[in-house]
Structures are given as C-alpha cells and as structure tokens.
Amino acid sequence: MMIVPIFFTCFLLLSSSHASVQDFCVADFTAPEGPAGYSCKKPATVTVDDFVFSGLGIAGNTTNIIKAAVTPAFAAQFPGVNGLGISLARLDLAVDGVIPFHTHPGASEVLVVVEGTICAGFVASDNTAYLQTLEQGDSMVFPQGLLHFQVNGGDTPALAFVSFSSASPGLQILDFALFKNNLPTALIAQTTFLDVAQIKKLKGVLGGTN
C-alpha cells in the first residue's frame, strides 16, 4: 500500500520550508542582539523549557525600603518571549509596600490583582491623574511611557501579575534615574526645581554621587 511513502514525498516538499519558519525566536544570549531583540537559538536546540518560566511562582523579597519587589520575566529572563511582543512580571507589595513612580519606555502594561488591594495610578501628558483602588480580580492598563505607580492599599500583602506589550519593556524608576547615579546636584536642581537639600537627602539614601 502506497499511502505512507507517497505522503512522505509530500512531507519532504512541505518541510523544505522548515528552516524558514519563524514561529518563534527563542533568545540566544551568546549571539548579537539587534533592534528587534536577541538572535534566535537554532530550532534544533529549542526545548519546552524555553517557553516555560517558573520564577513568577516565588514571592519577591519585600524586606526592603519600599516593602515591595518586582520579579521580571522579560526576554532576558524568559527566552521564549523574545520577538513575540509580550512579557510578564510579578509584583509583591507587603503592607505599606510601594512601587514608586516609574515608566516603561517601550511598552504598555496591564495589571491584574491576585491578592489584596492595590491603589494604582498614572499621569497623562496633559497632567491628568487617573487613580483607582483595585480589588482582587480587577485589572488596569497603563499606557506606554507614562509615569505610573502601585501602592498596597490594604492591610494585607498584595500580589499582582503584570504583562507588557514588549518582550523588553524597560523600566525607569524615577527616583533611581534622578538620585542613584552621578548627575550633579546642581544640574538636578536646575532641571527638576527640587531643592538642593532634598536632592542631597535622596542621593544619600540611594547612593547617588556628585
């Protein structure tokens, strides 16, 4: 009976396009990175482990000054999302925990509250603030590039999962950008209108110099 060999011919024909399939582009961290993301691992070396990330099941350590932790599952941690325009992170907020004002330069974000209560907000380009208290199961979207924050709004720990419209959304934390580097204090004062004493105080906390 000829069916199997005949089909095999068909398979050969069709699979000749195999090498060109870009179903996915699992990140190869040893090859060059480009504007669209990491280079792709050879398909033959890809396994299901590349598409699965277990790090979000572990609570971040919130015994720090912000009583909060962000655990990213971006392309750098989760190679299977490379090139697919999506990534994740886990937010842990202890009581009084705060994810301070920050932006993601390359992505919009959606947040889902899994435990507790989170007060979240963002500020639009016209300076309008959009604030909401989110209960378990509520979700909120933070449009790309806008300043936003999340604060534990209850008296129990809060947990949220966030996702991003990029495999490498970036994360710029306002206080770190201003006070955790060597930007001269006078220049910060000139470009933020903050008082020199205030700047020096926060540089002291965060380790900024100059």
Binding residues for Mn(2+): 102, 104, 109, 148
Residues 58-77 that bind a second copy (CB under 8 A): 58, 60-61, 63-66, 68-77
126 binds a second copy (CB under 8 A): yes
Alpha-carbon distance of 64 to 4, in angstroms, equals 64
154 binds a second copy (CB under 8 A): no
Could you tell me the smallest distance in angstroms from the CB atom of residue 208 to a second copy? 9
Annotated binding site for oxalate: 104, 109
209 binds a second copy (CB under 8 A): no
Cα-based distances in Å from 25 to 19, 84, 133, 153? 12, 8, 38, 39
Alpha-carbon distance of 37 to 20, in angstroms, equals 18
137 binds a second copy (CB under 8 A): yes
Annotated binding site: 102, 104, 109, 148
* 57-58-64-70 Cα dihedral, nearest 10 degrees: -30
How many chain residues interact with a second copy (CB under 8 A)?
A: 144
Could you tell me the smallest distance in angstroms from the CB atom of residue 46 to a second copy? 8
Q: If we measure between CA atoms, which residue out of 103, 55, 57, 60 comes closest to residue 80? A: 55
Q: Are strands 118-123 and 68-73 parallel, antiparallel or unpaired?
A: unpaired
155 binds a second copy (CB under 8 A): no
Residues 172-191 that bind a second copy (CB under 8 A): 172-178, 180-183, 187, 190-191
Token representation of residue 53: 């990330």
Among residues 123, 154, 158, 185, the one that binds a second copy under rule CB under 8 A:
123
Residues 22-51 that bind a second copy (CB under 8 A): 22-25, 28-29, 31-40, 43, 47-48, 51
Alpha-carbon distance of 92 to 14, in angstroms, equals 48
Cα atoms in the Cβ-side hemisphere of radius 13 Å centred on 127 = 0
Could you tell me the smallest distance in angstroms from the CB atom of residue 31 to a second copy? 4
Token representation of residue 111: 């947040």
x/- track of binding to a second copy for residues 76-115 (CB under 8 A): xxx-xxxxxxxxx-x-------x-xx-xxxxxxxx-x-x-
Could you tell me the smallest distance in angstroms from the CB atom of residue 41 to a second copy? 9
Given a contact cutoff of 8 angstroms between Cβ atoms, the answer to whether 136 and 58 are in contact is no
